[in-house]
Amino acid sequence: MMAAFVMDKYLMFVPFLLIGCAWAAMLAMPFTFVTNALQGYGHMGAYLGLFNGTICVPQIIAAALGGVILALVGSVQAHMMVVAGVALVIGALAVGWIKDA
């Protein structure tokens, strides 16, 4: 948004710096929440590894299968959005199977 108001290319460092700080916080905060919520301090590394897997594995699967799915829907991005919406609904329904500890 600031790009429309900043006329000097060196002044653009300010919004990029602020965006970078926000991005770093968004990446770090989930791990902070997990470490604060864990009870088993002896297995902290294993728990953080599992948590990191829950973030990375879906991204790897999406990168590996995204092109295949796009080819199956005829390379129409609107159809790909429908596939993404269906995946979102399936994921939302799957949350219901999670049991509270």
Convert the pLDDT of each residue in 23-65 to its tens digit.
999 999 998 888 888 876 788 888 889 999 999 999 999 999 9
Burial readout 30-65 (b: 16 or more C-beta within 10 A, e: otherwise): eeeeeeeeeeeeeeeeebeeebeeeeeeeeeeeeee
Q: Within a domain: residue 5?
A: no
Give the whole-angstrom CA distance, residue 72 versus residue 74. Answer: 5
Q: In whole numbers, what is the pLDDT of the chain averaged over residues? A: 89
* Domain presence at residue 1: no
Q: Confidence class of residue 101 from pLDDT cuts 50, 70 and 90? A: low
Whole-model pTM above 0.95? no
- Kindly tell me if the per-residue pLDDT of 2 is higher than 80: no
For residue 72, the enclosing domain spans 12-97
- Average pLDDT in the 74-94 region? 92
% of the chain beyond a pLDDT of 90: 52
Overall domain count for the chain: 1
Quickly state the pLDDT bin for 1 (edges 50, 70, 90): low
